[in-house]
Amino acid sequence: MGKRMKFLTTDAGRRIAYVQSKGIGPGVVFLGGFMSDMTGTKALHLEAWCKAEGRGFLRFDYSGHGASSEAFTDGCIGDWAEDAQAAICELTQGPQILVGSSMGGWISLLMTKRIPERIAGLVTIAAAPDFTEDGFWASFNADTRKFLIQEGQVNIPSDYGDPYPITKRLIEDGRSHLVLRSPLHLPFPTRFLQGDEDAEVSVDLAHSLFALATGDDIQLRLLKGGDHRFSSPRALALTQKAITDVIGVIEAQ
């Protein structure tokens, strides 16, 4: 990947690592999750599939993630949304199909508000909008909240390796970017994908997002036995089918 990886310097001076494959449009842009990077199973599978289809594809690391610059603990939702917007606007041409995984689902929903003209369709995988507030902060007891406010950071256990370092800035900034508290209009083909055995993002959250969103072509698809990684052959096939469906709707318009 080293030879193919390039860097985009944002207006804020952050260097965003990315890998891009040229092809027909609308292209697919993969937005990864919290503390993940662009070398995960889903991103690489979709890249290979898009290459086989001759379709443009972009994957990238938010600042503080993967091969991009900055420290993870210096970042927040606002920074990562800026990174995503810069990558979409500066590296792609025309409307794109966003595929947002977990936190990437939240980021992609922010993109629908900021740059709607650049979005042709949306697929989310275990979308986790507002998780800093409704997940982390809501689960903290009084002592943990006090420690976070005083010390600026707490570490919480993770099923994916090292503990998650949760900063005061992450929590406070997240409150400026909540999307489940106001109308959410998605005027393009949208597919929300969710596993019913996801221990990180509940099916209830998926239903809440589906109920809130308005648009002419929005579907929620549940995968029996699907977990948060959503990287099993069945999950990858469902993701691929959802993107194919979105492309079909776009091409039929």
**Sign of the torsion formed by the C-alpha atoms of 118, 120, 126 and 131:** positive
Q: Collapsing DSSP states into helix, strand and coil, what is residue 193? A: strand
Residue 3: per-residue pLDDT: 58
pLDDT, tens digit, for every residue of 25-43? 999 999 999 999 999 999 9
> What parts of the chain have a pLDDT lower than 50?
1
Residue 97: per-residue pLDDT: 98
What DSSP state is assigned to residue 220? E
Q: What is the DSSP string of 123-154?
A: EEES--TTHIIIIIIHH--HHHHHHHHHHSEE
Residue 157: per-residue pLDDT: 84
Residue 226: per-residue pLDDT: 97
pTM for the model: 0.96
Residue 244: per-residue pLDDT: 98
Asked whether 240 and 49 are in contact (CB, 8 A), the reply is yes
Residue 2: per-residue pLDDT: 53
